Each structure stands twice: as structure tokens, then as C-alpha cells.
Structure 1
């Protein structure tokens, strides 16, 4: 991946908005889907090429993309487990609770923790919160639905 830090964005006709990356020290720190281009953003980044291919139907797990998660440890554990859900599969919040070490599907507070981690996911798409069919996504709802459609969910 490109080691240059900065903001990178490219328009996606499929999403009808931009895909924007924040990168620091070669790691992705944010993914967002703004409706307007950030004037400081560059359009040239290898990951944007991959995302564009993904949105056109190419299978990509993005598992090799280095991510710097700046979230509390308990949320990080949830998001790291979510990254294990394969392309084209979806799960429920309860399944994600059960997959995450230290969480109990019988505890409502653990369900709340998972929902909060999903809603505050700093890198939607790379950590595929759109694969949790009954949970919130950090991506805007129209983007979440299109990401689900790309994977046939």
C-alpha cells in the first residue's frame, strides 16, 4: 500500500458519492462516503483502485490492508472479529457477539457494545459492517445497501 499520508478520494458513480480514505504512516485510519470532494484530497491511491474494482463486482476481502484502529479495546475486538466474515456472507449482531472473545450472547450490554462498535466503525467497507444484517453501519444507509448488493446480500 502507498506509504504516503493524507486524504484520498475518488468519485464512485455506483455509490453516487465519493469514497474517501484517511491514511497515516501507510495505514488506513478512516473511510467515509462524502457527497462532496474534499479540496485537499488526492485521487491517486492504490486502495481507491481496488475499491473501484470491488464496487464493479470484483471479489476483494481487503484483508491485506493495514488499518490503524483508534477505538476502545472492547470495540477493536468486535471489529477485528467482523473482519473475519468472508465476502458474500452475512451474520447477525448475536452471531458477532458470540464470535467475539469475552462477550456473551445472553448479555444485553454485550449486544449494545457490538452495536456501538458497528456504528462507530472508522473504516466501513474495510471492516465490513454491511455484512451484519441487523446491525447499524457506519456507512450512510444508501451506501450500506449498495455494498450489500455488491456482495449479493
Structure 2
């Protein structure tokens, strides 16, 4: 992505039955959402949206080269960074994510930190929280289920 890329980009997805919206600032993804309809102020042409829609059409893409800007507390960032390492097509437990992030899955506070980080994930898909099978994520549940099913095929 070019550092001059700035804006909101979105397209309707038949597979997800909603739009995919990506916010970009200084060439980094700062937000991803799945609104029920296409936002009026969103541009539809962006190379990253092309990749997302190729992925939605069944092309394997881990998106690990996508530059993201996470503005979350450090402990939550460790969790989200760990989730970026879960390979395409695999799912892991919340306990596994906690361990990957250097947290203790037997400590209630650490598990809550991991759960909160995933639930508040500002960039689902690029931080693929849909690959964590027993925790809430930043994408709507129906979207997460479709993404898991897509990657299982």
C-alpha cells in the first residue's frame, strides 16, 4: 500500500450479505467493519479491497503483509499480534491465543484481557479473530462463521 492511501473504501459482498469497509490512514489499515449497506461516502476502488474480494471468492490469503495500525493497550496488542500468526484455514482456542501472547490461560484476568482484545479488534480479517473458535471477535458472528467456512473449503 502506498503511504498516500487515505480514506474509507467499501464494497458489497454477496457472500457476507453485507459490505466490507476498510479505513486507511498513512498507508495502514486502521479499521475494518461489515456494515449492513454500502456507506455513501466510501470509495469502491482500492487494491486491498481487490485482495479481500479474491479471498472471499476462495483465494487463500493470510494478509500478513498488510500494514495495520493498532491503537490498543499493549497487552491487547500482544493478543492481536498473536492472532495474526494463526495460519489460514486453522482455528485455535482462546487458551492457545493467550499462551501465544505470553498470557496465562489459567489466570482469569489474562483470559479476560485476551477475550476483550478479540471482542474489540478494530481490524477483523487482517487480525483474523474468526480463527479463534471460542471467543467473540470484531466481526459480526455471521461474518465470522462465513469466513471460517470459506477457509475450511
Quickly name the TM-score band, shorter chain normalised: over 0.9
What is residue 123 of structure 1 aligned with on the other side? 123
* TM-score, normalised relative to structure 1: 0.96
Structure 1 residue matching 2:118: 3-state secondary structure: helix
What is residue 66 of structure 2 aligned with on the other side? 65
- CA distance in structure 1 between the aligned counterparts of 2:90 and 2:37, rounded to whole angstroms: 31
What is residue 136 of structure 2 aligned with on the other side? 136
Q: Which of structure 1's runs of 4+ aligned residues deviate more than 4 A?
A: none
Q: Deviations over 1:33-63 (max 9, x none)?
A: 0012211100000010000010111000001
- CA distance in structure 2 between the aligned counterparts of 1:54 and 1:46, rounded to whole angstroms: 13
Q: CA deviation at 1:99?
A: 1.0
Structure 2 residue matching 1:22: 3-state secondary structure: strand
Residue 80 (str. 1) matches residue 74 (str. 2): no
Q: CA deviation at 1:13?
A: 0.8
What is residue 91 of structure 1 aligned with on the other side? 92
Q: Give RMSD over aligned pairs.
A: 1.0
Structure 2 residue matching 1:54: 3-state secondary structure: helix
- CA distance in structure 2 between the aligned counterparts of 1:30 and 1:127, rounded to whole angstroms: 11
Q: CA deviation at 1:4?
A: 1.6
- CA distance in structure 1 between the aligned counterparts of 2:18 and 2:62, rounded to whole angstroms: 22
- CA distance in structure 1 between the aligned counterparts of 2:5 and 2:82, rounded to whole angstroms: 28
- CA distance in structure 1 between the aligned counterparts of 2:95 and 2:108, rounded to whole angstroms: 10
Gaps of 5+ in 2: none
Report the count of equivalent residues: 152
- CA distance in structure 1 between the aligned counterparts of 2:144 and 2:121, rounded to whole angstroms: 13
- CA distance in structure 1 between the aligned counterparts of 2:29 and 2:56, rounded to whole angstroms: 19
* TM-score, normalised relative to structure 2: 0.96
Residue 43 (str. 1) matches residue 8 (str. 2): no
